[in-house]
Structure 1
Amino acid sequence: MKEHISGWQFFLITVNYSLGTAFFIRPGSMIASSKQDGWMIPLLASVFMLAVLWIWLGMAKVYPNLSIVQLAVEVAGKPIGGFIALLYIWYFIQTSSWVTRNLGDFMKTILMPNTPITAFHIMFLAIACYAAIKGVETIARTSEILTPFVILVMLTIYVCALKEWDWGKLEPMFQSSFNKLMKDTGPVIGFPYLETVTIMMLAPHVKSRLKSALLLGMTVTTLLLSGIVLITVGVLGASRSSHQVYPLYTIVKELQIAEFIENLESTIVISWTIWIFLKLCIAYYCAVIGICQLFKLKNRTGAAIPLIFLIAGIAITLNDNVIGNIAWDKRYIFQYSCFYGIVLPLFLWMLGKFKKRRRKGPAA
């Protein structure tokens, strides 16, 4: 029996997936590149994404009951379509590895420096594997339960941080040229926006309001991402924020409420762990279901369990050099994500429309 999720659940999945890691990792790099104007980068990125969402929704509309993997095989045939499907499966696996490594780095750097990073990887991947076996409905219901807690914590931090707010730290504003801002927007478009193409694997499961859920989810993502950059600069200042790997964690660590409530960093750790876990579950599930669809496997367990070790192995071999990761992100993430988020979806959409018109031609 086919699994179904509501438009509301898909909206929550969109927000959780796009913000899962970006909310904690992206602010520092945006501030480092554009200083006090960093908060404008998500707004510019969202304008670009309107055209991209049009492509994604057009692709989903061609064959609404097929995922990206199934659509590729359907419109491009088994040789070419199968290769495109394999590319997407690899992308889902690679994304899961990036997410797993981000989680491991955070836990090892902030909480348990003496614990082997592989222990964190295996622990969370095992849970993600179980969620993937249970299916998208289970992941969607988990998202419904956990998201309100995460959003409440984030909004509370927003409000509590206002007492440390200093407008002077936001000056001078609007110093970056439009060309400079557009250049700085590229990496952010690549991650997290174009990376969100992964959730289009779930489009066939959405019962209704796919378009509105996706658009609203991206809007909320943009507002929250822009807002946290604005607050980070207003509290820590552009110079200090740009040198922090996790500036939001620094804000919460130094936050004090009513002179006696302090050391609130545990709340942000829990919230970030929930967000990263939800994103990992979604990416993991898409990899598993993609493998099952391409190779006609009926049992998800056989595909899900081996992925634990594959993803953990890829995660542990990723670059340990933070400077190298930042350089790769600035130079290549936009082009790399464009291939999966724009080039391939546009190709599948146009090819699918062409095949549909050709089929209808003789009947007309």
Structure 2
Amino acid sequence: MHSQMKLSAAQFRILVIFYSLGDTILVVPGSLTADSKQEAWIPAILGVGVGVLLVWMYIKLSSLYPNKTLIELNEAILGKWLGKFVSLLFVASTLLFCSQVLFYVGSFLTTRIIIQTPMLAVHILFMGIVTVGVRLGIETIARCAEILFPWFVIPFLILVFSIFPQIHYENLQPLLEVGVKPIIRSILFFTSITSLTFIVLLTVFPAHVAEPDQRNRAFFTGSLIGGGIMIIILLLGILVLGNTYTRIALYPSYELAKRIEVADFLKNIEVIMAIMWFLSLYFKTSLYYYATVSGLAQILELKTTEF
């Protein structure tokens, strides 16, 4: 185990941002608009608010055992054998989630960018990179995220400012048309695939995060920034594409990037925009895989996760 590895609060904040986006940046716009139509931004905002409450709960829980990971916390609360059983269920779920995100990577790349490439080849290459990162440890993954974060921010800013002239505010109308039930369903869906999965980060937080006076704030701000980016992309999808096209498109946020056209010379830059999604997918997959490997090692009481 990389038990001596420590992340700075800033590094952890960036990991939270990448993790909160991950595959959700691809699938949430279509899923929310399918249920809440042009009002999908409302459950997204409320879902981020619910997420803040869940983050507060995770922080309070982890503060009771500040030097333990989630696996160790399970055994401390539930006892050795019941704790190990619950941890095994957790490890199995993170492995399944990892495979789900891996599918999105292969599906996105082979249907939008490298169309003639077999999905299996994409999966093997991508997981090879993920495996190397996990083998080097969570600190290496965090440093990599810190270095690459500007390459996420820059395409995002290009997307927002370039697509802004194509906004049609009438796409948000009529307001309060869909009713309460679709909004509640959308809030539950949004929360279930974003904030609830933050429990995976307890394999890193707080045991492997330094700066105790800043790490809680990093968790909060990371979740808020990630949620804010998600809301902006969702709003842009509705404002530019309309709720009908947003809900039927396979990857609405990518279709949004294809609309960028500035002064007849800045065109077809959606591949550059794909950098955003690729980075968020990579770090979310890495965190899932790290939780799987490190969790299994702690359950089996191994001294190292290296292979």
TM-score, normalised with respect to structure 2: 0.94
Ranges in structure 2 where 5+ consecutive residues have no aligned partner: none
Q: Residues of 2 paired with 1:74 and 1:185: CA distance?
A: 33
Query: Among 250, 257, 263, which residue is 1:258 paired with?
Result: 263
Q: Report 1:125-274 matches (<5 A).
A: 125-203=127-205, 204-208=207-211, 209-274=214-279
C-alpha offsets along residues 195-215 of structure 1, whole Å, 9 cap, x if unaligned? 121111101111122211111
CA distance in 2, matches of 1:276, 1:123: 14
Contact 1:68–1:200 at 8 Å: present in 2 too?
A: yes
Counterpart check, 1:38 vs 2:40: yes
Structure 2 counterpart of 1:143, one-letter code:
A
CA distance in 2 between partners of 1:46 and 1:170 (Å): 20
In structure 1, the residue matched to 2:112 is 110
Shift of 1:106: 0.6
In the alignment, the residues of structure 1 paired with residue 227 and residue 276 of structure 2 have an alpha-carbon distance, to the nearest angstrom, of: 19
Report the CA distance between 1:301 and its aligned residue: 2.4
Q: CA deviation at 1:174?
A: 2.7
Describe the SS at the equivalent of 1:148: helix
Task: Quote the RMSD (CA, aligned, Å).
Answer: 1.4
- The alignment covers a number of residue pairs equal to 302
Shift of 1:50: 3.2
Structure 1: runs of 5 or more not aligned: 303-364
CA drift at 1:268: 1.7
> Which residue identity does 2:87 align to in structure 1?
A
Q: Percent identity?
A: 26
Q: CA deviation at 1:173?
A: 2.1
Match of 1:74, as an amino acid? A
2:86 matched to which residue of 1? 84
Deviations for 1:119-178, whole angstroms, at most 9, x for unmatched residues? 111111111111111111100100101112112211210111111111122221232333
Does 1 or 2 have the higher relative contact order (CA < 8 Å, sep 6+)? 2
Given residue 258 of structure 2, which amino acid in structure 1 is its aligned partner?
A: K
Deviation at 1:11, TM superposition (A): 0.7
Three-state SS of the structure 2 residue aligned to 1:301 is: coil
Residue 99 (structure 1) shift: 0.8
Secondary structure at 1:114 match in 2: coil
Cα deviations across residues 185-235 of structure 1 (Å, max 9, x unaligned)? Answer: 111111122112111110111112221111111111221111111111111
Please say if residues 297 and 305 of structure 2, whose CA atoms lie closer than 8 Å, have aligned partners that are also in contact.
yes
Native 8 Å contact 2:55 2:198 kept in 1: no
Asked if 1 retains the 8 angstrom alpha-carbon contact of 2:36 and 2:178, the reply is yes
Shift of 1:104: 0.7
3-state SS, counterpart of residue 6 of structure 2:
coil
Letter in 1 for 2:265: F
Match of 1:280 in 2: 285
1:96–1:280 contact (8 Å) kept in structure 2: yes
Residue of structure 2 in register with 1:289 after alignment: 294
Query: Residues 41 and 226 of structure 1 are in contact (CA less than 8 Å); yes or no, is this contact kept in structure 2?
Result: no
Cα offset, 1:254, TM superposition: 2.6
User: Which stretch of the first structure deviates more once superposed, 46-55 or 117-126?
Assistant: 46-55
Q: Distance in 1 between matches of 2:79 and 2:184?
A: 38
In 2, Cα distance between equivalents of 1:94 and 1:49: 22
- Structure 2: how far apart are the matches of 1:271 and 1:54? 28
Question: In structure 2, what is the Cα distance between the partners aligned to 1:255 and 1:155?
Answer: 12
Return the offset for 1:65.
0.6
Deviates more, 1:18-27 or 1:267-276: 267-276
SS at match of 2:230: helix
- Length-normalised TM-score, structure 1: 0.80
Whether 2:55 is the aligned partner of 1:53: answer yes
Structure-1 residue corresponding to 2:7: 5
Please say if residues 170 and 233 of structure 1, whose CA atoms lie closer than 8 Å, have aligned partners that are also in contact. yes
Instruction: Report what 1:361 is aligned to.
Output: none
Shift of 1:299: 2.7
Give the structure with higher Rg (CA).
Answer: 1
Tell me the distance in 1 between the aligned counterparts of 2:232 and 2:180: 20
AA matched with 2:149:
T
Q: Secondary structure at the match of 1:218?
A: helix
- Matched to 1:93, the amino acid is L
The answer as to 2:124 corresponding to 1:119 is no
What stretches of structure 1 move > 4 A for 4+ residues in a row? none
Q: Distance in 1 between matches of 2:210 and 2:227?
A: 25
